[in-house]
């Protein structure tokens, strides 16, 4: 059985540019919820012809954002926050797609930049380089030897993926202009999704993909938003505190992911 895992966030979907627009309690949220849903549905509708089963993971905030009534019959959806990254993913899946991914924490010009929680973390640095949720998702997928074959998101998230896999198929929803976004229209993004996924089929990307990334971890630094948080998480074994920055000793990629889960 061919299975596809679709990991979804909201800040990198089309049009939104401030926190109210991705906040369920806001009066302007619903139109951007609909846009997120439509982009996820477009991917699922096309991919349902290529995969026997699709698992959609709603990964934004309360993780109850995607409107589910029109999901294809061979789709299931994981909703609700259990504190894990890519819940339910395992080695039985053939591929991962990332939808709605966004700029990493520390990319301060991007209006919605963050890594997991902007209340807790300013920036995460792996081997001295800033990383965001895009890299974390790719590593989480690679742990199970499942390739990441497509990303839809803002230009920063797509560049982050391309720094790992230069040829990864992608759709960019919006670009930075000073400290604002210039967003494509929802209709244009929907059309680009269809074109990109058809191109992937033509090039046999679904069958022959080697996008696995398990880097050697030489260093891990997390810069927190305040000293109190940094002090708290510096209690992790062998961690070192320097102002708001905590440096962690990391034995392997499994410990790297454990620190990310426990210390953010």
User: Are both 249 and 154 inside the same structural domain?
Assistant: no
pLDDT at 82: 79
Q: Are residues 38 and 145 in the same domain?
A: yes
Residue 208 placed within a domain: no
Report how many domains make up the chain: 2
Q: Within this chain, do residues 28 and 149 fall inside the same structural domain, yes or no?
A: yes
Q: How confident is the model at residue 21 (pLDDT cuts 50, 70, 90)?
A: very high
Evaluate if residue 81 carries a pLDDT over 90: no
pTM: 0.97
Per-residue model confidence (pLDDT) at position 41: 98
When pLDDT is averaged across residues 104-121 and rounded to a whole number, the result is 97
One domain, residues 227 and 111:
no
- DSSP string for residues in the chain: --EEEEEE-STTSSS--SGGGG-TTSTTHHHHHHHHHHHHHHHHHHHTTT-SEEEEEE-STTT--S--TT--TTEEEE-S--S-SSTT--TT-SEEEEEEE-PPTT-TTSTT--SS-TTTEEEEEETTEEE-HHHHHHHHHHHTT--EEEEEE-HHHHHHHHHH-TT-EEEE-EEEETTEEEEPPHHHHHHHHHHHHHHHHHTTTTTS---------S-EEEEESSHHHHHHHTTSTT-EEETTEEEE---SHHHHHHHHHHH-
- pLDDT, the chain, mean: 97
Taking only the tens place, the pLDDT of each residue in 178-228 is: 999 999 999 999 999 999 999 999 999 998 899 999 999 999 999 999 999
Q: Please report, for the domain that includes residue 167, its CATH number.
A: 3.40.50.10780
Q: How does pLDDT run across 28-51, given as a tens digit for each residue?
A: 999 999 999 999 999 999 999 999
pLDDT value of residue 161: 98
- pLDDT, one tens digit per residue, over 125-183 is 999 999 999 999 999 999 999 999 999 999 999 999 999 999 999 999 999 999 999 99
Share of the chain above pLDDT 90, in %: 97
pLDDT band at 262 (very low <50, low <70, confident <90, very high): very high
- Indicate whether 126 belongs to any domain: no
124 part of a folded domain: no
Q: Does 120 fall in a domain? A: no
What is the structure's pLDDT at 208? Answer: 83
In a domain, 17, yes or no: yes
Domain that holds residue 234: 220-263
Q: Is the predicted pLDDT of residue 83 greater than 80, yes or no? A: no
> 148 and 259: one domain?
no
Is 82 inside a domain boundary?
yes
């Amino acid at each position: 059985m061919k299975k596809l895992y679709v990991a979804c966030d909201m800040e990198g979907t089309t049009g939104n540019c401030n926190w109210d627009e991705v906040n369920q309690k806001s009066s302007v949220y619903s139109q951007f919820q609909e846009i997120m849903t439509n982009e996820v549905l477009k991917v699922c509708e096309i991919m349902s012809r290529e995969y026997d089963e699709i698992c959609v993971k709603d990964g934004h905030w309360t993780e109850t954002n995607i409107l589910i009534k029109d999901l294809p019959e061979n789709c299931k959806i994981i909703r609700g926050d259990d504190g894990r990254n890519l819940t339910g993913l395992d080695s039985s899946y053939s591929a991962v797609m990332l939808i709605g991914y966004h700029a990493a924490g520390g990319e301060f010009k991007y209006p919605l930049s963050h890594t997991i929680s902007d209340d807790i973390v300013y920036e995460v640095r792996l081997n001295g380089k800033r990383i965001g949720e895009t890299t974390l998702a790719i590593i989480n997928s690679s742990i199970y030897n499942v390739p990441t074959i497509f990303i839809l998101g803002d230009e920063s998230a797509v560049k982050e993926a391309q720094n790992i896999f230069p040829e990864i198929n992608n759709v960019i929803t919006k670009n930075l202009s000073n400290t604002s976004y210039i967003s494509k229209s929802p209709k244009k993004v929907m059309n680009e999704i269809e074109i990109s996924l058809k191109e992937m089929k033509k090039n046999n990307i679904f069958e022959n993909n080697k996008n696995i990334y398990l880097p050697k971890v030489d260093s891990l630094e997390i810069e927190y938003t305040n000293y109190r948080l940094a002090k708290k998480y510096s209690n992790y074994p062998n961690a070192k505190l320097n102002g708001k920055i905590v440096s962690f000793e990391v034995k392997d990629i499994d410990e790297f992911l454990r620190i990310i889960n426990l210390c953010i």
